[in-house]
Amino acid sequence: MFKLSHSYQKKSFLKLILPIVFCWQTAYSQISYHKFPLSNQVLQRNEQNEATVSVKGLLTEGNHSSITLKILREASVFYESTINVTGVSSFEFSPKINAGKYDYTVTLYLDGREVKSATRVAAGDVFLIYGQSNALGYGGINEYQPARDPFLRYYVMYDFSQNSGEWLVPFETAQWPGTGLIALELQRVLSQKYNYPVGVVVAAVGGAAIKALNDRNPQNPTDQSSNYGKMIIQANASGMREQIKYLVFRHGESDGYYFGDSENYPEQFSILYKHLNTDFPNLKKIYNLQANILTQSNHKAGYLRDFQRRSKYLYPKISTLSTVGTRGYDGLHYVFEGYQQTALELSRIIGREVYGNFESNNIYSPDIQRIYWEGSRLVLEFDAGMEMRYPQDSTANYTLRSMKDFIYVDGRNDVVQSGEGIANKIYLNLANINNPKLVSYLPSWFADNTYPFYNGVHIKNSFGMRAFSFDNVEIGGQAPEIPTTPDPPTNPEPPTNPEPPVVTPEPPTPDPPVNPEPPEPGTPNNPQPPVTPTSLDLAVSLHEELMVHLKWNGNAETTYHIFRGVNNSDNLTEIGAIKGDNYYDTQVELNNRYYYKITADNAQSAVKDVLLKCLDSILLKNLTQLAYIGANSSITAYIALNSTKQLTLEANKFIDLNHGFDAPQGSVFTAQIGGCKND
């Protein structure tokens, strides 16, 4: 268990090692080291799944004949090489070790006598974490039990002026070192899922505005009087500055409180981005997290969050994640479950981009792509492949929270009347406005008499990922005529002594022409009906949530009837009717072949079939009647078994039991690695 402590105590440790360090320096001061790995260090692996062990130095005195480097892997010799030396000379070794959960011992010998050693060196992935307090994550740190995995490592600084620090293993540490829950949970999930050692270097600074994080001294980048300089010192001391590929940046709360800071945020972020690319030559990816809705009155905070959303389009190394709607939010920070949720959601993106786990595109936060008119409805179109959900109303503290109240059209929240999600689009019905220009989603800030922070609903995708908030996105295309819904007058007064109405005689109606010309199609008096194809092109595909996805060339105005047969193409029965161009059949089970047909007025599709058998990946969110579920690659489960359920999960690569999974007493649950054996 970690115990909260703002200064890491190391006195007993110093008493133990100081005599050893002193003796070594006395006996072997004739060697000056430029590079040597550290004990417990995780070296960054390359694309060939290897890492280089760099040993470099200078022999400053003569009378020596050889320098030998020996590397052991799990007590067996993995590498050994000797350099013959005469007099003062430099030496360098650059062997490669295999990535994976292996401990290596690196030892240097001078004339056959050990002079320096590093134990439990590993090769995997290392993440630098920067930002402010939410990049750390303190909520629940006192009770946190780190995973008992010796291949989780973090670097802790003791003294910046002396470049003093060391790599440690979380569960072997008696006190909390300032690393925080985001880093600890992120490395736990990644290591367990992908079976590589994971190291973290955490340089986040609580409460720091972005100007206090990009304060690089160009004459001395390691200036310890600046936060940026301390980050560089820490990266150098950990031995990782030239190796680090991945940086997690969580920030925006301090600058989101004040108008001027929010407005200048893009400029300050650009400065930081330039500095990071200068000082970290191997940097490949920055994971930039969009901040949550704050409680301080600042109408530019939404502008700041919108910049964070768009940063992936502006800078080539950035990926983004939204934090709006994260569990356990108090208006600034989160409880443990909130930080755990962020670590899990970030790990899925890293899993796709770093580890090649190409699961559904819905692991990303949905991002608005364009806004336009489709008939009389306004369409919010999100990333291709997203499966969007418009939320139902909810009640918090006896107050109704409705999504329509938090979508702003030209700054007004009385325009949206309702909405629905179809494929990657949200369709909105509007009223009370003509020719609107801009749309914003979610307030810039929020606090009311019911709750001190935003506890409303969110637009999500099928994975529960909340859409990025966006600010003043332009509407494309020509707006249609939108009906108004005027409010009735309050307590209208009846007229006094009303005058009788004046009747004006109507002019005579002229006789119609003998052969009237029909109005042109598409004119206001004869609007074009939606075009329904006479032949519907149906495609069916398997979905990892044990569903079948139907897609056809339809439109939002026509009703389509869905017919299905189970293991029989001759007896199809109707299972639903929908307007749109796609449908998800959730009432399916493994080991069946399903047949589908779509019909509309004067149109129908051919019968298409799909066999629900061995999927590559399965996302298990709902309990099925099956006792066995297998997948070719992976299974991710969120289900809770009942006390009588028997279930076996089997996959070739991994089975991930996520938050929400439960197997209570009385149930029988088995998870095993192997091939899919669905009958």
pLDDT tens per residue across span 492-537: 444 344 444 444 444 444 444 434 343 444 433 333 444 555 689 9
Identify which has the larger pLDDT, 517 or 648.
Answer: 648
Residues 232-254 have pLDDT tens digits of: 999 999 999 999 999 999 999 99
Say yes or no to pLDDT of 22 above 70: no
β-sheet bridge partners, residue 457: none
Residue 490: its pLDDT value, please? 44
- Through-space distance between the first and last CA atoms of the chain, rounded to whole angstroms: 45
Residue 175: its pLDDT value, please? 54
Identify which has the larger pLDDT, 445 or 617.
Answer: 445
Cα(239)–Cα(52) distance, integer angstroms: 12
Enumerate the CATH 2.60.40.10 domain ranges in the chain, comma separated. 535-612
Residue 483: its pLDDT value, please? 61
103 is written with which tokens? 């401990």
Highest mean pLDDT: which range of 28-42, 167-181, 406-420, 617-631 = 406-420
Task: Report CA dihedral (306, 312, 318, 324) to the nearest 10 degrees.
Answer: 40
Query: Hey, which CATH number is domain 535-612, 2.40.50.140, 3.40.50.11740, 2.60.40.10, 3.40.50.970?
Result: 2.60.40.10
Q: What percent of the chain has pLDDT over 70?
A: 86
Residue appearing with tokens 């901040």: 291
Q: 178 pLDDT band (50/70/90 cuts)? A: low
Residues whose CB is less than 8 angstroms from the CB of residue 174 and which lie 6 or more positions away in sequence, other chains included:
3
349 is written with which tokens? 């993106």
* Strand (E) or helix (H) holding 190: helix 181-194
Range in 149-163, 269-283, 605-619, 654-668 with the lowest mean pLDDT: 654-668
Cα(31)–Cα(176) distance, integer angstroms: 35
Residue 492: its pLDDT value, please? 41
Q: What average pLDDT does range 172-198 have in this prediction? A: 86
Residue type, 223: D
The per-residue pLDDT of the chain, averaged, comes to 85
Please tell me whether residue 239 adopts helix, strand or coil conformation: coil
Q: What average pLDDT does range 352-375 have in this prediction? A: 93
Cβ distance 117 to 106 under 8 Å? yes
Say yes or no to pLDDT of 279 above 60: yes
Say yes or no to pLDDT of 574 above 80: yes
Enumerate the CATH 3.40.50.1110 domain ranges in the chain, comma separated. 125-359
Q: What average pLDDT does range 365-384 have in this prediction? A: 96
Identify which has the larger pLDDT, 475 or 15.
Answer: 475
Q: What average pLDDT does range 577-583 have in this prediction? A: 78
Q: 452 pLDDT band (50/70/90 cuts)? A: confident
Cα(561)–Cα(644) distance, integer angstroms: 38
Q: What average pLDDT does range 407-415 have in this prediction? A: 97
Say yes or no to pLDDT of 2 above 60: no
β-sheet bridge partners, residue 108: 69, 116
Q: What average pLDDT does range 140-168 have in this prediction? A: 91
DSSP state of 48: T
326 is written with which tokens? 């994260």
Inter-axis angle of helices 301-314 and 259-279, nearest 10: 30
Q: 139 pLDDT band (50/70/90 cuts)? A: confident
Range in 441-450, 542-551, 597-606 with the lowest mean pLDDT: 542-551
DSSP state of 502: P
CATH entry 2.60.40 includes domain 27-121: yes
Residue 176: its pLDDT value, please? 55
Range in 210-219, 514-523, 661-670 with the lowest mean pLDDT: 514-523
Q: What average pLDDT does range 607-625 have in this prediction? A: 82
Cβ distance 28 to 111 under 8 Å? no
Residue 511: its pLDDT value, please? 46
Cα(390)–Cα(324) distance, integer angstroms: 15
Residue type, 138: Y
Residue 614: its pLDDT value, please? 83
Q: 546 pLDDT band (50/70/90 cuts)? A: confident
Count other C-beta atoms under 10 Å from residue 42's C-beta. Answer: 34
Q: What average pLDDT does range 391-408 have in this prediction? A: 91
Q: 416 pLDDT band (50/70/90 cuts)? A: very high
Q: 29 pLDDT band (50/70/90 cuts)? A: low
Range in 111-115, 480-484, 559-563 with the lowest mean pLDDT: 480-484
Residue 21: its pLDDT value, please? 30
The whole-model pTM stands at 0.70
* Strand (E) or helix (H) holding 275: helix 259-279
Range in 257-266, 345-354, 582-591 with the lowest mean pLDDT: 582-591
Residues whose CB is less than 8 angstroms from the CB of residue 92 and which lie 6 or more positions away in sequence, other chains included:
54, 55, 56, 57
Candidates 168, 190, 186; CA nearest to 177 is 168
Q: What average pLDDT does range 15-43 have in this prediction? A: 63
Where in 142-292 does DSSP place strands (E)?
152-159, 164-168, 198-202, 246-250, 285-290
What is the CATH class of 125-359?
alpha beta
β-sheet bridge partners, residue 439: 409, 473
